[in-house]
Amino acid sequence: MSGETVLERETVYRGSLLSLLRYRVSLEGRRLLREVIEHPGAVAVIPVSDDGKIIMVRQHRLPAGRTLLEIPAGTKKAGEEDEECARRELLEETGYVARFLRKVWSFYPAPGYSTERITLFLAKGLEKVGQRLDEDEAIEVVEIPLGKALEMLGSGLVEDAKTLIGLCWLALELARRWERLGTNTHIFQH
């Protein structure tokens, strides 16, 4: 399958965070229009406390029209490295700093219309130092036991894609450890 050939690119809107671009492309002899949201990239963090709780945030999301339960996340600033952004967002949104931060993977949450790429991190060795919210944020910190957080995957309580992906990765990681350790190991007990 061949890709699209870009014939023309136009910036329709440029905001402080996002831009809307319109592309004229050629695909297998056909001329098409594509609308693309240009995004600077983001990070998401799965913070796991020493006592086995996932540190999550609850915040209202205007586009969703409701308050969502999410893992901490945020948009990268110009020139900011992924790890630097992950540490900043973890501190701002939850009030925690992490001694250990591991990059898990990166993914496109909506590649059909957005350039946004989210890099997912695991954070451990947490120390609470106090939230440092941005002026435009109102966030409640929620600590959820690991087992309950994973149960929420199939419950419909978590509707945010990056959070679902993060919790699925965590479940996969625990399944791998379970397999390596043997089925008699109780990895969910602390």
Q: Which of 135, 151, 173, 179 is catalytic?
A: 135
| Those residues with Cβ within 8 angstroms of residue 127's Cβ, 6 or more apart along the chain or in another chain | 96, 97, 98, 99
Candidates 32, 4, 6, 35; CA nearest to 19 is 35
Q: Which amino acid is at 121?
A: F
Contacts with 148 (C-beta within 8 Å, 6 or more apart), sequence order: none
- 34 in Cβ contact with 25 (< 8 Å): yes
Quick one: which of 82, 87, 8 has its CA closest to 41? 82
Measured between its terminal Cα atoms, the distance across the chain in Å is 50
Active site annotation includes 173: no
Cβ-Cβ contacts under 8 Å for 182 (sequence gap 6 or more): none
- Any idea which residues carry the catalytic annotation? 135
